[in-house]
Structure 1
Amino acid sequence: MRILSVLAASLFSVSSFASTVPDDPHLYVQGQAKIQVQPDRATIRVAIVEKSKQLPEAKQKVDDIMAKAIKLAKRFDIEKDDIHAEQLNVYRQTRYNRNTNEEEFEGFRVTRSLTLTLKKIESYPELLQALVDTGITEFNNTEFSVSNREELTDKLKLKAIKDAKLAVKELAGAFDVEVDKLYSASFAPINAPTVPYLRQAPAMKMMDSESGSYKEAYNTGAITIEAQVYAIYLIK
């Protein structure tokens, strides 16, 4: 957002030409804004594991399942750049025989990992079942996210700045002092010996994604996105 970029530049330019904390009387405040949203994409990490004393046999089976999984991902409209198939890993497994005091060969453990980014979140339950059907043997973890997180964060930063302005008015009014001007501001905590004044956080609003039946099948909970701004105001 152009307005936010210009505003952020002006805030940091004020900070760069001022010491961290002024010697003059001042008020140190924190503005914040946050929101809860439903995820609209899922990054799924799975793996194929096969064990056999015949390495070619294990490798072939892993490769076949991987090919099916990639073909399946395309059927779910997952783009090529969102399909990441890792290289083959081979481990030679042995077991210690207490009777003979020797290591005995048990076989080879062959693995390949696959990461998929699903942008049609409503298809998540169906995709999981389809992956199981293809022969995927391990589901490592799924990370849910929001595609427009950067855009939401930019908007929250603007709201955090407004909240900081309200905070300094509230604090100045409580102490019956008059605000002079902004001394410094930053989206990161200012190196100050005191804790900034923080207004009571406003109630978070829930934003629904277009996830449809996905919510009914898998309730992952909302993702909280937040932004803070820290400001020092001189007082008269």
Structure 2
Amino acid sequence: MRMISSLLATFFCASSFAAALPEQPHLYVEGSAKMQVQPDRATIRVAISETNKQLVAAKNKVDSVMAKAIKLSERFGIKKDDIHAVQLNVHRQTRYNRNTNEEEFEGFRVVRSLTLTLEKIESYPELLQELVNAGITQFNNTEFSVSNRDELTDKLKKEAIKDAKLAASELADEFDVDLDKLYSVSFAPMNGPSVPYLRQASSMRMMDSESGSYKEAYNTGAITINAQVYAVYLIK
């Protein structure tokens, strides 16, 4: 639910304020819109690490696991452009021996990271299991997103503009003044000492993704997308 963050109608003529706000009497309002969508894409970041006193042996193990992971990723429909395997990172590992007061060589730690973008999100649980079976030892993080976020944001901006118009009309009625014309509009807060008026809405818009859902054990919940617009109206 959109809540009232502040109720402030500004009627002032002070030239010291920022240029974004006019010197004439005006109303400064905020229009807001948001929706919840189910994610339809997952960016998965994993890695394989191996420690061995023989560098070649550690490298061969890591390369073997990485090759398996890339192959199974393609089997899950992940495009080659969405598979990013970084180069090897090699670290020489030692351990302090308190008995001898010396650093002891433990082996070479070889690491390779892999980033995958999965569009068939319903396959996410199965892909994780297959990566484990292939020998992946580190799961760094997974970022869930919406493939058509820009399109949804554009729609929300239009809704936010409508909300700003209603806010201006609502505020003008409350103060028994008439709106003159739109002075300026921005999708970012304007410079000035005033807090915009944000009208209260009865409910929040909800939208479900057209993509399939995935197993409840991996359900991360909906993603909230927001849009705001800030408008200044001159008043009579």
Equivalent position amino acid for 2:115 in 1: T
Give the share of equivalent positions with the same residue, in percent.
79
Q: Which residue of 2 aligns with 1:53?
A: 53
Match of 1:176 in 2: 176
Aligned to 1:160: 160
- 2:142 is matched with which residue? 142
Point out the more displaced range, 164-173 or 94-103: 94-103
Q: Name the structure 2 match of 1:71.
A: 71
Distance (Å, rounded) in 1 between the aligned partners of 2:27 and 2:234: 6
How many residue pairs are counted as aligned between the two chains?
Answer: 219
TM-superposed deviation, 1:213: 5.1
Letter in 2 for 1:175: F
Cα distance in 2, alignment partners of residues 112 and 25 from structure 1: 62
Aligned to 2:80: 80
Larger helix share, 1 or 2: 1
The answer to whether the Cα contact below 8 Å between 2:19 and 2:191 also exists between their aligned partners in 1 is no
The normalised TM-score by structure 2 is: 0.90
Amino acid at match of 2:58: A
Q: What do the CA deviations read for 1:41-86 (whole angstroms, capped 9, x no partner)?
A: 0000000011111110010000000000000000000000000001
Distance 2:98 2:217 in 1: 50
Amino acid paired to 2:216? E
How far apart in 2 are the matches of 1:126 and 1:36? Answer: 26
Q: CA RMSD in A?
A: 1.3
Q: Secondary structure at the match of 2:107?
A: strand
Partner of 1:192: 192
Q: Structure 1 length as normaliser, TM-score?
A: 0.90
Map of 1:38 onto structure 2: 38
What is the match of residue 232 of structure 1? Answer: 232
Residue 14 of structure 2 is matched in structure 1 by none
CA contact (8 A) 2:125 2:215 kept: no
Code of the residue aligned with 1:47 in structure 2: it is A
Alignment of 1:202-217 (within 5 A): 202-212=202-212, 214-217=214-217
Choose 181-190 or 202-211, whichever is displaced more: 202-211
After superposing the two structures, state which structure 1 stretch, 101-110 or 199-208, moved more. Answer: 199-208
Deviations 1:88-131 (A, max 9, x none): 00100011222222211111111100000000011001101110
* 2:19 partner amino acid: S
Letter in 2 for 1:124: Y
SS at match of 1:141: strand
